Structure 1
Amino acid sequence: MLFSIFFSKDLLVLDGLSYIQMIDLYWTVIPVLLVHFFGSHPDAEYNSWRSTVVVVLTWVWAIRLTHNYFRREKWQWGAREDWRFADMAQQHGQNWWWVSFFGVYLIQQVFLFGVCLPLYFVHSVNKPLNIWDVTALVVCVCGIVYAYFADTQLHAFVSKNEKLKEEGKAMVPNLEEGLWYYSRHPNYFGEQLWWWGLAIFGWNLGGRWVFVGALINTLCLAYVTTLVEKRMLKQEYRVDAYKMYQETTSVWVPWFKSSPKLLPKEKDS
């Protein structure tokens, strides 16, 4: 089925339930399958406590991400296309079917392989637990919890604005409460914490290159961040407010507000 989706231009561009709209769910399923595959392999060798912790963490992370996907999509599966893919499809036109295959779908398999490498090391090395396992556990849990609350606050904000729009009232330009007061993208920050925490598990077991996957994921999120912010600045009702938000609020890492830059007229006065 996946091959028919990959190589069919009609499915990639037109089908409402195509792979292009289910990539988020794909990301939540593969790590869970991989952690069980590595753990159940005949040649697997691991510390049972570490394995149990990592398996549980992977399941909790996947459930959180899946729940957020369905909540965001109003509990429907593949009901709408991600605006980023829609923009790229419009940009590349007739070439989108092959550009998407190599530049979106195929490359994501590489990303998944990279970020899931720690799951392999966890089930390849039998080493007693140490302080780095505790550190990795704390980072992973903080990432999952932080991303959950950030996404929940975002969902409440979006739902409120949708209701205001239906009632013909002015929408609120920005979400600047809760975690979003200290960071413009706290959900991305939480997601990065999860992958870096997972990488610590692998590094502790001798996986010297496991941080590469987390780094690539961070670079991808950096690119996505620029796309999101450009889109925000295209919406007239929030342009000025969002520019101010950019000046005063940290991009990812939670931090205190900074003072906005003064305009020339304000400096003179």
Structure 2
Amino acid sequence: MGCTSNLKNAVIAFLAPLPSIIFYLSFINNATDHPFCYRHPLLLVNLLFFFNVNILFWLIALIQSSHWMIDPYWTVIPVMLVHYYAAHPLAHYDFWRSRIVILLTWVWSIRLIHNYFRREKWQWGAREDWRFTDMIQQYGKHWWWASFFSIYLPHQLLLIGLSLPFYVIHSVNQPLNIWDLVAVVVCVSGILIAYFADNQLYNFVMMMMSNDMILESGLWYYTRHPNYFGEQLWWWGLVVFGWNLGYGWTFIGALLNTMCLGYVTKLVEQRMLKQDERVEAYRKYQNTTSVWIPCFKFNSSSYPNLPLNKTKNA
């Protein structure tokens, strides 16, 4: 990827969210002039997401023939959302709970964005998610419009849903208690597990001389997807904050994300089993290792023997 293209994509990525940022800063300074935006923070954030991310990002993707930009923004949008709720004129919250959650969100985001760019060799827009590429074959000539409903609308549903605890945290002024500590422990545990899991995976990929077919050491010894497990812990930790404040319904975003990761897990494992040289090793790994929750190895004899030759499905 050339330097010019890399720089161009970086500029596009930085300019893309400016419409929402400029509008919101203007709104904060003149809140009384926008009674609708003032009274409906959840509706406003959905409108901003729909027009600025769904439509604008989608149009940029059509022009570039690549939906790469939604991936790095998965790590940026939650940071923008937590500050959105904290700065809204109707915000009413405990100062320390707000600062703790904002700090944790920044730490989560920095870790994830670092892992993303390290994996992409520090390039902007070098490639799009392989799942999107696979969808092109599925939708064919209809992909240009189907991509809007397959990529962008689901991301709005997930990101706004996952960030519902941010809204509650900045809507209720209740003193800190022991459950806030529990939430912090769960969130930090999720960040740390995902950090170590991603580092171990990156180091494994970088060891070109390794004869190992699959990664089966470190956290990957106890679960086939420790990075997904850590990511889920992070979001469910935020749900504990919301539940503690009396808004248990904030679990809906984390639940949808867990269901989505379940489907992604299936796709990833199907992809592994399409690599003939890894089929046997990965079948054994599946039969002895937990999918998500870390635990000790299973007894492979407890599972039926599965065909190993030219297997295409998980």
TM-score (norm 2): 0.77
* Counterpart pick for 1:145 among 186, 192, 216: 192
User: How far off is 1:180 after superposition?
Assistant: 0.1
Greater mean alpha carbon deviation, residues 186-195 or residues 84-93: 84-93
Q: Structure 1 pair 249/7, CA: closer, same or farther in 2 (3 Å)?
A: same
* Counterpart pick for 2:168 among 110, 115, 121: 121
Aligned length: 252
Kindly report which structure 2 residues correspond to 1:226-245, keeping only aligned pairs within 5 A, or say none: 226-245=266-285
* Counterpart pick for 1:192 among 204, 211, 232: 232
Find the counterpart in structure 2 of residue 83 from structure 1: 130
Between the aligned partners of 2:73 and 2:59, the Cα distance in structure 1 is 18
The alignment status of 1:70 with 2:110, answered yes or no, reads: no
C-alpha distance after superposition, 1:64-118 (max 9, x if no partner): 0100000111111111121111111122111112221012211210111100000
Which amino acid in structure 2 is aligned with residue 221 of structure 1? L
User: How far off is 1:172 after superposition?
Assistant: 2.1
Bigger relative CO (Cα 8 Å, ≥ 6 apart) = 1
Find the counterpart in structure 1 of residue 7 from structure 2: none
Between the aligned partners of 2:80 and 2:184, the Cα distance in structure 1 is 20
TM-score (norm 1): 0.89
Between the aligned partners of 1:263 and 1:194, the Cα distance in structure 2 is 34
Between the aligned partners of 1:27 and 1:83, the Cα distance in structure 2 is 16
Partner of 1:77: helix, strand, or coil? coil
* Counterpart pick for 2:141 among 94, 97, 102: 94
Paired-residue identity, %: 62
Q: Structure 1 pair 4/121, CA: closer, same or farther in 2 (3 Å)?
A: closer
Partner of 1:111: helix, strand, or coil? helix
User: How far off is 1:7 after superposition?
Assistant: 4.4
Greater mean alpha carbon deviation, residues 188-197 or residues 108-117: 108-117
| RMSD, aligned α-carbons | 1.7
Between the aligned partners of 1:198 and 1:5, the Cα distance in structure 2 is 27
The alignment status of 1:214 with 2:254, answered yes or no, reads: yes
Find the counterpart in structure 2 of residue 178 from structure 1: 218
Which amino acid in structure 2 is aligned with residue 207 of structure 1? Y
Partner of 1:241: helix, strand, or coil? helix
User: How far off is 1:147 after superposition?
Assistant: 0.2
User: How far off is 1:4 after superposition?
Assistant: 4.8
Gaps of 5+ in 2: 1-15, 17-52, 306-314
Partner of 1:209: helix, strand, or coil? helix
User: How far off is 1:37 after superposition?
Assistant: 1.3
Partner of 1:55: helix, strand, or coil? helix
Find the counterpart in structure 2 of residue 167 from structure 1: none
Gaps of 5+ in 1: 165-169, 265-269
The alignment status of 1:6 with 2:58, answered yes or no, reads: yes
The alignment status of 1:27 with 2:74, answered yes or no, reads: yes
Between the aligned partners of 1:78 and 1:229, the Cα distance in structure 2 is 25
